[in-house]
Amino acid sequence: MVLKPEKMLRMRVMSTLNRKDIVLSVLHDFNAIQIEQVSGDIKGSLGRIEEEDFQKSVTNELQRIKGLENSLPRVPVNGKKAFASVYDTLKEAAKITIDSDVRTLKQKQEDLMADIKDISIRTETVEFLRGLNYDLSIFNGKSTKAYVIQSAYPEELSSSIKSQISDALVIERSGALLAVIPDREESNLARISSENASVMRIVPEASGKPEEYLASMAEIKKEREKELEEINAALKQISEKHFSDIVQIREQLEIEESKIEVYERMGSTSEVFVLEGWVPKSRYETMIKTLNKVTGGSIIISEVETKDEPPTMFNNPKRIRVFEFFIRFYSLPQESEYDPTLIFAMVFPLFFGLMLGDYGYGLVILLFSILIIRKLDGKAKWFKFPKKLSNFVIVILGRGPLRTLAKALIPSSIMAIIFGLFFDEFFGFQLYHPQLFNVITSLSKLLLLSGYIGLFMVSLGLIMGFITEYSRGNRKGAYGKIGWLMFAWGIAVTGLDLIYHNFNSTGNYVALVIAIAGIGIIFVFEGVLGAVELPSMISHILSYTRIVGILLASVILAYVVDLIFMQDAHSFPMVIVGVFILVLGQVFNLAIAIFEPGIQGARLIYVEFFSKFYHGNGKMFRPFGKKRVYTIKQMDIETVEKA
């Protein structure tokens, strides 16, 4: 059921110790069991699994292989490799004997790169002295030091140095300074330079004219770069021969290490081992078949009765999963309650589109969202975001959440386009004659519509809350939800009668009776504390009128910007001013149009809707296993699943 998390079972597995590795291999490749500490009446009779000889070897070899992988240039990995056992993996790892060669080449590479960097710094410093008819040996003597200092304010820096270091010689050239000082004043010069936010570099100790030194350094740098190319070529040659094996072994060793880590949560005797964990009910039977097949039936698998709250595993269609991010951000559902992801996926874009209501803005957000996704996927390389801005956004949000937000904005912007076409709003301009629906002149209808939306959302939340509490056996809480539902509808109908001046209608009296009966039910089942919250129900319904408020603010701001632009467009200079105001105003309104509907739309769901049925505080399902990229599953699970 899409509106419920995946049903979980607690599973217990018992088999002989010699089958431990094969069982863990199957469970890893299933990637569908969260292994827990063994519980129940057998816990006290079990000990820990004894450490085996290969465990330290796995850790040591994994670190060695990772070091080799990080040291070698990446090349395409050829296919996937199968490993029969941990001993087979360690045997393959032992065949990789290139450590000494790689270490030597990497050391030479680092030394050469350091030399090239040092030459570049020296060259950049001496470049400042080009054209001076002096030998470099005069700058750094037995009692003097020379520095090139780059500063945004060279004149002020020069004055500071001259006033505080009496024996200093300062020459200003090309926005930088050459300062020759007594060596005893080095720390003083460093302080002055730091106070003026300057970059200070020492003139290298050398002989000859600056031009001669620069030519010499260019030759040396060329030689170092040639040597570096040879080192890189040697590393690439090693990588082409061994990199695929290294990556495949590293992945398998990581899997073997994850199995060893699981030992801490398992129990054993001298002959058998026991493990427990949470498994999705939909995978349980397939897992039993596979384990029985690979162990020849020498295994006992049973379901464990427990009152522990199981972890939460979402069960949503692929296209809806992007909205799971917003549910995780709020709180994970428990297994026994509704998963509101599907409702969020339908309602959030609707609210966003209604609050934006402009197909011009909607088109921009749609294109921008697609562009962000393609950019993050390594496509659309032709488009360049401002580097500092993009780095800041990625640091704050992360690449994954940013992609998720962009994907969520796609259906939201499509809804904005649909509502914008209906309202005839295109960056605040009306292009239809006549309009289909005018936001400003139809404000009362929109407010009434938002009230109905609020009543629907609150009612849906209360109905879901009733079902959740009833299924949990909390009859008191379930009947309280009925009282709230009666109160909400009674107050809503009474309010509508007052709006339409039906003060003495039969429906008005019936609605009042329903509202009062609802108050009574709330008081009986939730007590005084429940009754105190009665005003909040009214505020929650009315809170949905903010949909219209944000829509109206966006429409009016766009209209005002457009009006200023059209009024100023009577002369060429004013056209320039008008275009500037138009662009700036529309960009500002677009920024608001992205954030305000998103924040307020999510808030209406989180606060006014979730509070009626959603408890949250679920624990994330964290299965034992990982997706294999470079290795083959050790057990043929797919065959069993198809059988």
Q: What is the pLDDT of residues 59-118, one digit of tens each?
A: 999 999 999 999 999 999 988 998 988 999 999 999 999 999 999 999 999 999 999 999
**How far does CA 488 lie from the centroid of its chain?**
39
Q: Helix, strand, coil: what percent of the chain each, to 5?
A: 65, 10, 25
Residues 6+ apart with CB under 8 A from 35: 27, 262, 265, 266, 275, 276, 277, 624
Can you tell me the mean pLDDT for 219-226? Answer: 95
CATH number of 114-224: 3.30.70.120
Distances (CA, A) of 409 to 362, 415, 416, 528, 593: 10, 10, 10, 43, 12
Query: What are the pLDDT digits (tens) for 360-412?
Result: 999 999 999 998 888 888 776 666 666 776 776 677 777 788 889 999 999 99
Map tokens 């009574």 to a residue: 520
Model pLDDT, residue 640: 46
Number of neighbours of residue 373 by Cβ within 10 angstroms:
18
Model pLDDT, residue 39: 82
Judge whether residue 642 has pLDDT over 60.
no
- Choice among 95-99, 208-212, 219-223, 320-324 with the minimum mean pLDDT: 208-212
pLDDT mean across residues, the chain: 88
Q: Please tell me the distance from the alpha carbon of residue 263 to that of residue 286, in angstroms, as a whole number.
A: 24
Q: Please tell me the distance from the alpha carbon of residue 246 to that of residue 251, in angstroms, as a whole number.
A: 9
Model pLDDT, residue 62: 96
- Choice among 51-55, 117-121, 205-209, 432-436 with the minimum mean pLDDT: 432-436
Q: Please tell me the distance from the alpha carbon of residue 338 to that of residue 4, in angstroms, as a whole number.
A: 5
Split at pLDDT 50, 70, 90, the class of 450 is very high
Split at pLDDT 50, 70, 90, the class of 643 is very low
pLDDT cut 70: percent of the chain above it:
93
Model pLDDT, residue 411: 96
Model pLDDT, residue 180: 87
Please provide the size of the chain in residues. 643
Q: Please tell me the distance from the alpha carbon of residue 444 to that of residue 447, in angstroms, as a whole number.
A: 5
Using DSSP, state whether 266 is helix, strand or coil.
coil
Please classify residue 110 by burial: count the beta carbons closer than 10 Å to its beta carbon, then call 0-12 exposed, 13-18 middle and 19+ buried: exposed
Model pLDDT, residue 241: 94
Alpha helices per DSSP H over 433-571: 443-471, 475-499, 506-532, 534-542, 546-568
Tokens of 209: 């004219």
Tokens of 319: 């296209």
Split at pLDDT 50, 70, 90, the class of 206 is confident
Q: Hey, where are the domains in the chain?
A: 114-224, 318-612
277 pairs with which residues across the strands?
Answer: 11, 35
Number of neighbours of residue 570 by Cβ within 10 angstroms:
10
